Amino acid sequence: MIEAKHVSKWFDGQQVLYDINATFDTGKTNLIIGQSGSGKTVFMKCLIGLMTPEEGEILYDGRKIRNMNTAQRRQIRTEIGMLFQGSALFDNETVLGNVMFPLKMFSPLSHKEQLERAYFCIRRVGLENADNKYPSEISGGMQKRVAIARAIALNPKYLFCDEPNSGLDPKTSILIDELLSDITHEYGMTTVINTHDMNSVLGIGEKIVFINRGHCDWIGDDKSIFRAKSESLNDFVFASKLFQEVKLVLEREAEAAQK
Amino acid sequence: MIISSINTFGKYCRFLTQVFRAPDKWNVFFKSLVAEIYKLGVDSIPLVIIISLFIGAVICIQMTLNIVSPLIPSYSTGLATREILLLEFSSSMMCLILAGKVGSNIASEIGTMRVTEQIDAMDIMGINSANFIVLPKIIGFTLFIPVLCVLSMFFGLLGGWFIAEFTSMLTVETYVYGIQSFFNEWYVWYGIIKTLFFAYIISSVAAFYGYYVKGGSLEVGKASTNAVVASSILILLADVILTKLLLQ
Ligand SMILES: Nc1ncnc2c1ncn2[C@@H]1O[C@H](COP(=O)(O)OP(=O)(O)O)[C@@H](O)[C@H]1O
Ligand SMILES: [Mg+2]
């Protein structure tokens, strides 16, 4: 479980995160949702320690990252996998090289075992035929898969994904979401996913943290999101035509139930 | 202006304390060291050869044309060509040119890694990204620069020899006699020592500018221009100081 307690963050005197409290559960896909520019990426970077919040604490299963020394921080980083918004694959390495990278740097396994593990991860994300391609030679969806394979290579306890399906078509998005959800349940990871995509919210939103302009306005799950009282959340959820229809249906249902 | 320079210098020093650490994995370090020597050093050989050949030839022509006093012996053409090459061209001028090629290459490569979050990805894995990316570049380029310097000296002199051989401006004998007379071996060492400092300046300054890029591809371009300008100025400054120290 990851806990964020009273997290606030400023950039050059400009506050972007306001006193955020949230917990992210083990073995679940935890979603952070919100509009573009609401502070999701900054919040996630605070969670993983790429940025330090000016106020507040982050705890990994009770371990405060602020108090850690360098060795402890490195230890915890080997327990973290991260999927960046733009995949962040190493351009000068092949698919296999990218997945091997964390293994080469940190794994105590022999070279042969490392290769086995890398191929296992590559097969797990369904890329067995692309292992010798370079990132520039494969599609965006495949790049995301490589990034997932790289992120899970060291069997992390915590997996972070920043907009895993930005720039992907709806069908590929769903496949990536399902992959993330399957992996999370298979290995009992604590997965935190940033997204502004309502399809993901409904598909894999086991726990949802809604961020609006740096404030955490609502916490819940995919079942309760349509019945939430938060105005800003409703603005976000029912922004598209499709979900306005859903809203009408829901309202009619509610009326019927009252009668 | 002054305060911001001091700030930048402080940041640069802090950056260096991250860079100069023992690598996490020595075998990975040596692999990337070899790759960097190849990419930054060996790949620069053609450029160095071409430029040195032509500049050597031009210096030789200029010297012949301009030294027309009967009081000056004819072999001084070769002598002057050699001194210019050994003392300034093959070290300082060559490094200014390499600042353009190698410096912009390093800055844009690292800058791209920064804006595409590849550096963040390394940090998240718990890798000291500055050390991992930059140290092989600095060490690789600094190790290889003497080779480039000596090549430049050799091909510069060869360029002059072509003028002697294929034109009627001077004879090969006087040229060869000229480049051998009053030879001071220390000048070669002086050139090599200077290039070691310059190579360090080019690679570390360019890496610094690339590493702290913020924004997108536009900023990467700006950073690589700034890196070339800054390292060129520092090279000139270091040239004055080193010359005073080494030749006095
Ligand atoms: N490194 C930074 N320096 C200054 N401001 C930043 C930085 N990173 C993000 N911001 C600001 O923080 C706000 C939230 O950004 P971000 O977390 O990227 O939003 P998103 O929810 O789309 O991921 C934005 O207004 C952005 O301008
Ligand atoms: Mg974002």
All domains of chain A in start order, with CATH: 2-228 (3.40.50.300)
Reply yes or no on whether the pLDDT at B69 is more than 80.
no
Q: By the CB < 8 Å criterion, does B120 face chain A?
A: yes
Reply yes or no on whether the pLDDT at B248 is more than 80.
no
Mean pLDDT of all residues belonging to chain A: 90
Q: How confident is the model at residue A132 (pLDDT cuts 50, 70, 90)?
A: very high
Instruction: Give the contacts of A237 (CB within 8 A, at least 6 positions apart).
Output: A198, A201, A225, A226, A228, A243
CB contact under 8 A, A85 and B24: no
Reply yes or no on whether the pLDDT at B158 is more than 90.
yes
Question: Which ligand is located closest to the Cα atom of residue A162?
Answer: 2
Q: By the CB < 8 Å criterion, does B24 face chain A?
A: yes
Q: What is the mean pLDDT of residues A32-51?
A: 91
Residue A60: count other Cβ atoms within 10 Å of its Cβ: 21
Reply yes or no on whether the pLDDT at B132 is more than 90.
yes
CA–CA distance, A258 with A11 (Å, rounded to integer): 49
Q: What is the mean pLDDT of residues A32-53?
A: 91
Answer positive or negative: Cα dihedral of B8, B14, B18, B19: positive
CA–CA distance, B181 with B165 (Å, rounded to integer): 19
Write out the DSSP string of A219-249: EE-TTTGGG---HHHHHHHTTSHHHHHHHHH
Check residue A233 and give its pLDDT.
87
Looking at beta carbons, which residues of chain B come within 8 Å of A93?
Answer: none
Higher model confidence: residue B167 or residue B203? B203
Each residue of A161-220: pLDDT tens digit? 999 988 888 888 898 899 999 999 999 999 999 998 888 888 898 999 999 999 999 999
Total length of chain B: 248
What tokens appear for A137 in the block?
Answer: 């030679």
Question: Which ligand is located closest to the Cα atom of residue A44?
Answer: 1
Ligand 2 centre from A37 Cα, in Å?
A: 7
State the nearest Cα–Cα gap between A17 and chain B, in angstroms.
20
Check residue B183 and give its pLDDT.
84
Q: What is the mean pLDDT of residues B99-115?
A: 96
Asked if residues A222 and A25 have their Cβ atoms less than 8 Å apart, the reply is no
Ligand 1 centre from B133 Cα, in Å?
A: 26
Q: Which residue of A has its CA nearest to B24?
A: A105
Q: By the CB < 8 Å criterion, does A166 face chain B?
A: no
Please report, as a single letter, which amino acid is at residue A19.
Answer: D
Reply yes or no on whether the pLDDT at B31 is more than 90.
yes
CA–CA distance, A17 with A6 (Å, rounded to integer): 10
CB within 6 Å of ligand 1 — which residues? A 11, 16, 34, 36-42
Q: What is the mean pLDDT of residues A94-106?
A: 93
Total length of chain A: 259
CA–CA distance, B28 with A194 (Å, rounded to integer): 33
Quick one: what percent of chain A has pLDDT higher than 90? 54
Compute CA distances B1 → A127, B6, B7, B179, whole Å.
Answer: 53, 9, 10, 47
What tokens appear for A233 in the block?
Answer: 């959340």
Quick one: what percent of chain B has pLDDT higher than 70? 100
Write out the DSSP string of A30-80: EEEE--TTSSHHHHHHHHHTSS--SEEEEEETTEESTT--HHHHHHHHTTE
Check residue B167 and give its pLDDT.
86
What ipTM was predicted for this assembly? 0.83
Check residue A32 and give its pLDDT.
94
CA–CA distance, A98 with A101 (Å, rounded to integer): 5
Asked if residues A219 and A34 have their Cβ atoms less than 8 Å apart, the reply is no
Domain boundaries, given as residue ranges, for chain B? 25-247
Q: What is the mean pLDDT of residues A127-143?
A: 91
Reply yes or no on whether the pLDDT at B111 is more than 80.
yes
Burial of B229 (0-12, 13-18, 19+ CB in 10 A): middle
Nearest to A80 among B25, B28, B124 (CB): B124
Reply yes or no on whether the pLDDT at B66 is more than 80.
yes
Q: What is the mean pLDDT of residues A23-50?
A: 92
Specify the DSSP element, H or E, that contains A106: helix A95-106
Reply yes or no on whether the pLDDT at A100 is more than 80.
yes
Q: Which residue of A has its CA nearest to B124?
A: A77
Check residue A5 and give its pLDDT.
94
Check residue A221 and give its pLDDT.
87
Check residue B50 and give its pLDDT.
96
Q: How confident is the model at residue B233 (pLDDT cuts 50, 70, 90)?
A: very high
Reply yes or no on whether the pLDDT at B125 is more than 90.
no
Nearest to A102 among B116, B120, B125 (CB): B125
CA–CA distance, A109 with A128 (Å, rounded to integer): 22
Residue B50: count other Cβ atoms within 10 Å of its Cβ: 12
Looking at beta carbons, which residues of chain A come within 8 Å of B126?
Answer: 73-75, 77-78, 106
Looking at beta carbons, which residues of chain B come within 8 Å of A85?
Answer: 117
Ligand 1 centre from A162 Cα, in Å?
A: 13
